[in-house]
Amino acid sequence: MEKTVKSPFIIGGIATLIACLLCCFTASFMLYKDLSVNSYVQTEAIVVDHEYITSSDEGMFYDVIQFTVDGKTYTKVALNNRAYYREPLNIGETIVVYYNPDNPDDVIFKSSSHVVMIVVCYLVAAGCAVGSAFLFIKLFKILKKEREYNSRLNLWVKDENDL
């Protein structure tokens, strides 16, 4: 009976802590990428085409953009440009992109959705931390009651043996 009472709390607490760490890691990585934009150069890119890319059973249209750096034109497929959340942009439409000045092929499509995702990840991590704290508090209360019960039981057995 001991194991069945304690095991769910231990497993739940460990799983919640792992979820908390994963959320913190994800949010930290997204924050790092978001902050790395500060060292990138902002420029305007033009949507020149759309590319249909399939993965498993589904396909998605992605914007193909062009931008110029020091007289050289770069063409990129906007794989990380919120494609899951919206329709493709119109051809000829201008968008803001950020490129690495040391490597213009390294492009970031910054959007407000990154900020929202970072906040959500940290909130989920905080919720997981609070949840695991409650689980461990409950486990310690169970262990304390069990210890008190065992000490009373030992006193009772000792009294019985003295008779």
- 56 in Cβ contact with 40 (< 8 Å): no
pLDDT for the residue 45: 93
Ranges of residues in the chain with a pLDDT under 50 are: 1-3, 81-85
Residues 6 or more apart in contact with residue 114 via CB below 8 angstroms: 30, 33, 34
- 33 in Cβ contact with 114 (< 8 Å): yes
> Rounded distance, CA 71 to CA 87, Å?
31
Q: What pTM value is reported for the model?
A: 0.49
pLDDT for the residue 68: 94
